[in-house]
Structure 1
Amino acid sequence: MTLTHDPDRRRDIAHVGPVELYTPALEKSRDFFVDQLALREVHRDAESVYLHTWDDYQSWTLRLIQRDRAGVGRTYLRAASPEALDRAAALIGTTRVADDVRGLGPVHLFADPDGHELGLYYDVDWYAADDADRPALKNQAAAYPGRGANVRRLDHVNYLTADVPATVAFLSDVLGARCTEQIVKDDGSPQAVWYSVGQKTYDLVYTEDWTGSRGRLHHIAFATDTREEILRAADVCLDAGVHIETGPHKHAIQQTFFLYVWEPGGNRIELCNAGARLILAPDWKTISWTAAERAKGQAWGLKTIETFHTHGTPVVP
């Protein structure tokens, strides 16, 4: 399947914004993100905790929500301008607008073909550092935490989907995203796709769900400044009893240095660093990886563990 992108198309989505994560162990999940990943708690209500990565300009990065099962809630996408918000909302065909989302609003709600809920917004509250995390540099959102993995920002979300081709059409035709890399089956159809909505190499990833289920999560990823912080995170997670699933290794796809762990609620979390790799070409041609090429494994590191291909949240039989 050949994927193309129109470089003349207006990019109405600026970047992926905050993400909601469901967890059956709210306080333990909160402690993991604060103590091991170095996010900061900035607000809580009766059912959730809001957390902030130290260099996110927005008021919060991750909302942990108490639920019976782990999984992903809404993923929010920031439009490039108020006019872009109106254009994108009209193209997507959003049917409901929420004006009660903390720090965002109004939010145009919609879903991808697999049922993952998304929200499109422009107005946003910027993060206001206090005396406890005020940075020395005024062009930084908050002070460098100096603990755990020191994750700088949310990097990407990787969903599981029952229908990759339908998702491809949605990402390309509706969101105006571009596919930078993909895994293709022997018949040429996509099995996993990496899409960029802004200026990064990838923001939204969709992988075929082997169970045929809909609306599940593979992982969310946080970016670190250096590879060393990922190595340190492995030690930190080891001491804290956090389940280390695989890594640190290096992906061939997107060349990302990575560590995958399971937070206490059961969701897979990736710590990642892609170095200085950027895709600057406006006419970038999608890189396709065949099944035979993927069978060779990672760029380097140990063989991918089986649970990486089978575990998703919520867990299904």
Structure 2
Amino acid sequence: MKALWRDLRDHLRTDFRPDLYAASALWAALLITVNFYFDLEDKYIDSFQRKPAWAILYFCLYATAYYVSVWLWTHFHKRPDVWKSRAFWARSGVALISYSIYSGFYEDYEWSLKLFDGKIYVYVYYCLHNLQSVLTIVLPLYLFYKLADPYPSSFYGMAPKRKGLVLYALMLALMIPLITLASFQPDFLQSYPTYHDTNANEFFGVSEWVTALIYELCYGWDFVPTELLFRGFLVIGMSRVLGRGAVLPMVVWYCSIHFGRPLGEAVSSLFGGYILGVLALSTRSIWGGLLIHIGIAWGMEIAAFLQRQ
């Protein structure tokens, strides 16, 4: 545990510049303000649901968040060479296109209507929506890893490592009181639990806890490709190009994927994303981040279930 705190301190000592961090914080604050003031994602971007423009608009949002953040880092660290790097454009392009397609993916809507003749459309849609990342994120990153990555080691932090698991477990434990307090807020209960009562258990002739468990496993899986892309591909992989500078731009983009969630969740993602990014860079593994991410997600589901009861 001491080694990881030392790694976090060393990262700050090497990468921290008051002007860079202040500018990045202002940029993130501007993005958050614009989104929540104008309801940018929910009102405008999502108005193009199930249309090709949906993914394109997400790409514009994510590319703006990420590339401006990279520009800030290259400007303050005097690294204009980054913009001439093919490796940078290849990695950032694959990441942005993959996640934008994931965010604007709508084929699962059609698949859900066809499976079981649409009799349990809502339930099937919720499950498939969480599983479609296998095609939209995991597969493209794996193909890039196998065919185009000039520095292959492990699959972007997917190799299990024990380093830091105690610290990650402690961080998860510290989140329990915060999740409990959040569960009393109206906007929290508007978003959670993400599982909704359907007739799927009656359709399959099983208890509802069975269909709820299947859904929650699908929901938990969806955080695996998120960690793989943001902490694995954009930090561990992109560190080949940006070094420690891979963390800060990832954090701002990571914040923007929370724009459809409560404001507090979007703001807290900046701090959580930064810590997880630094620790992923230190351990060269995303397993600790998976422990925290899935643990918090399921923790919020459980808290909301209890509140509804």
User: Which bin holds the TM-score, normalised by the shorter protein?
Assistant: under 0.3
The structure that is helix-richer by fraction is 2
Larger Rg: 2
TM-score (norm 2): 0.27
Which one has more relative contact order, counting CA pairs under 8 Å at least 6 apart? 2
The structure that is strand-richer by fraction is 1
